[in-house]
């Protein structure tokens, strides 16, 4: 069982990474909420509470980083599909490079400590 | 989505909990979150080939979505940090706006013998609180958010309690005042005496005018049904939007009854 410190660290780390993951998934193409939640659920420890995805999508849409459209579904009611907006693509490029620099730096530190 | 009554109840409870948890936040649209959750539940039931979902089925699906209070993982810690580091000019301005808002609510209530300034003060309090909520968006500590919510709720409730009855009878009172002399002349009232036919005629005119006025108010509220809740923010549950159809129907009925009385 994780210590409270680890659990708190994981929660904090997950928050920003989840948004990064959502934007990266949408960079590959449009997706509806349920599909997005299930895709992200496959990454270990990333999504603990699936409802969080819908909160993040609303926030990203309000920020103008994603756009949405209702489209008819052959399996039932219309689905809300999300797409990355041009602003979202620019933000994603920016945070991807920040992420890469960050992980590369931390990996180097880990190598030295091993 | 087909649900048993208990399944529907379980889902409604969960959605209400989402509204409580997310409703006061400026950075998300609670309707989007609700719609997303309903779509998720529907998709999950379809994947599981459940045609009529019981409360157990719904609880099972909702367990996967998690408790609404946990939707925004890490926000509590981030906000505590923000409240410690951002108590600069923005927070001072927010606090000043809050005090000003509360003061004008008080002034509005005290000044009830001066209706116009009182009403203006109450309206200003709501606008100020709304500005505060928007400007405070991601930075306000939870306690401030709570105070702001109650300020808006109290201001809106006071405005509804004071303004609504006045607004409902305003037209009748105005028209009554304007028509008093012609009515008295038409019903051949002389001196201080007021015969019954004068009061009947007055009631009919006032009823017809009030009916039209209520219908106009109802139409106005209907046209604002999107804008009003947004404008009132957390106090949207107090918004008199739901009264629009009642007002329309009551106005129509009053007008027709007055017309029938007049013609007969």
Q: Assess B78–A contact: CB distance below 8 Å, yes or no.
A: yes
Closest CA to B231 of B172, B156, B122, B166: B156
Q: How close does chain B come to A114, measured CA to CA in Å?
A: 30
Q: How close does chain A come to B50, measured CA to CA in Å?
A: 13
Q: Assess B46–A contact: CB distance below 8 Å, yes or no.
A: yes
What's the pLDDT at B191? 53
Q: Assess A71–B contact: CB distance below 8 Å, yes or no.
A: no
Tell me which range, A110-114, B28-32, B91-95, B240-244, is most confidently predicted by mean pLDDT: B28-32
What's the pLDDT at A34? 92
3-state SS of chain B is CCECHHHHHHHHHHHHHHHHHHCCCCCCCHHHHHHHHHHHHHHHHHHCCCCCECHHHHHHHHHHHCCHHHCCCCHHHHHHHHHHHCCCHHHHHHHHHHHHHHHHHHHHHHHHHCHHHHHHHHHHHHHHHHHHHHHHCCCCCHHHHHHHHHHHHHHHHHHHHHHHHHHHHHHHHHHHHHHHHHHHHHCCCCCCCCCHHHHHHHHHHHHHHHHHHHHHHHHHHHHCCCHHHHHHHHHHHHCHHHHHHHHHHHHHHHHHHHHHHHHC
Q: How close does chain A come to B75, measured CA to CA in Å?
A: 8
- CB < 8 Å to A20, chain B: none
Q: Assess B22–A contact: CB distance below 8 Å, yes or no.
A: yes
| pTM greater than 0.80 | no
Q: Which two tokens stand for residue B128?
A: 């100020």
Burial of B165 (0-12, 13-18, 19+ CB in 10 A): exposed
The minimal CB distance from B36 to the residues A48, A54, A76 is found for A54
Whole-Å CA distances, B17 to B20, B23, B66, B152: 5, 9, 12, 21
* Angle subtended by helix axes B196-223 and B243-263, to nearest 10: 150
Tell me which range, B56-65, B195-204, B214-223, B243-252, is most confidently predicted by mean pLDDT: B56-65
Neighbours of A97 (CB within 10 A): 10
Average pLDDT over chain B reads: 68
In sequence order, what are the beta bridge partners of A66?
Answer: A84
Q: Assess B73–A contact: CB distance below 8 Å, yes or no.
A: yes
What's the pLDDT at B252? 82
- CB < 8 Å to B30, chain A: 58
Contact A54 B70 (CB under 8 A): no
Q: Assess A17–B contact: CB distance below 8 Å, yes or no.
A: no
Residue A48 backbone dihedrals phi, psi, to 5 degrees: -95, -40
pLDDT single digits (tens) A35-74 = 999 999 888 778 768 888 999 999 999 999 999 998 887 7
Q: Which two tokens stand for residue B32?
A: 């989007």
pLDDT single digits (tens) B108-159 = 555 555 445 555 655 665 565 555 555 544 444 445 555 555 655 666 666 6
- CB < 8 Å to B66, chain A: 48-52
Contact B52, B68 (CB under 8 A): no
The minimal CB distance from B73 to the residues A49, A76, A80 is found for A49
What's the pLDDT at B257? 80
For residues B34 and B24, what is the distance between their CA atoms, to the nearest angstrom?
14
Q: Assess B68–A contact: CB distance below 8 Å, yes or no.
A: yes
């Amino acid at each position: 069982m994780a210590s409270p410190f680890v659990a708190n660290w994981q929660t904090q780390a997950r928050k920003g990474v989840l948004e990064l993951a959502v934007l990266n998934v949408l960079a590959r193409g449009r997706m509806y909420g349920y599909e997005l939640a299930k895709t992200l659920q496959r990454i270990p420890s990333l999504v603990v509470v699936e409802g969080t995805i819908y909160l993040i999508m609303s926030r990203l849409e309000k920020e103008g980083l994603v756009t949405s459209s209702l489209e008819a579904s052959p399996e039932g009611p219309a689905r809300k599909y999300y797409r990355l907006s041009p602003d979202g693509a620019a933000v994603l490029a920016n945070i991807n490079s920040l992420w890469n620099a960050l992980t590369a730096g931390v990996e180097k530190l880990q190598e030295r400590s091993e | 989505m087909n649900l048993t009554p208990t399944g529907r109840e379980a889902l409604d409870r969960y959605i209400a909990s989402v509204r409580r948890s997310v409703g006061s936040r400026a950075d998300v649209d609670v309707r989007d979150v609700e719609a997303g959750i309903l779509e998720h539940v529907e998709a999950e039931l379809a994947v599981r080939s459940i045609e009529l979902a019981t409360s157990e089925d719904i609880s099972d699906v909702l367990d996967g979505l998690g408790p609404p209070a946990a939707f925004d993982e890490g926000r509590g810690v981030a906000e505590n940090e923000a409240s410690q580091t951002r108590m600069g000019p923005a927070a001072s301005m927010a606090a000043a706006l809050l005090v000003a808002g509360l003061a004008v609510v008080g002034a509005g209530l005290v000044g009830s013998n001066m209706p116009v300034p009182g009403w203006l003060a109450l309206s200003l309090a709501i606008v100020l609180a709304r500005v505060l909520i928007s400007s405070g968006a991601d930075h306000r500590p939870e306690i401030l958010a709570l105070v702001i919510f109650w300020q808006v709720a109290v201001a809106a409730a006071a405005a509804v309690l004071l303004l609504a009855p006045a607004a409902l009878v305003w037209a009748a009172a105005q028209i009554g005042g304007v028509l008093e002399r012609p009515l008295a002349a038409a019903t051949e009232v002389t001196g201080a005496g007021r015969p019954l036919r004068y009061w009947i005629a007055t009631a009919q005119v006032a009823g017809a005018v009030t009916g039209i006025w209520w219908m106009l108010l109802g139409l106005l509220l209907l046209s604002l049904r999107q804008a009003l809740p947004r404008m009132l923010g957390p106090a949207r549950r107090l918004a008199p939007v739901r009264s629009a159809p009642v007002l329309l129907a009551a106005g129509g009925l009053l007008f027709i009854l007055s017309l029938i009385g007049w013609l007969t």
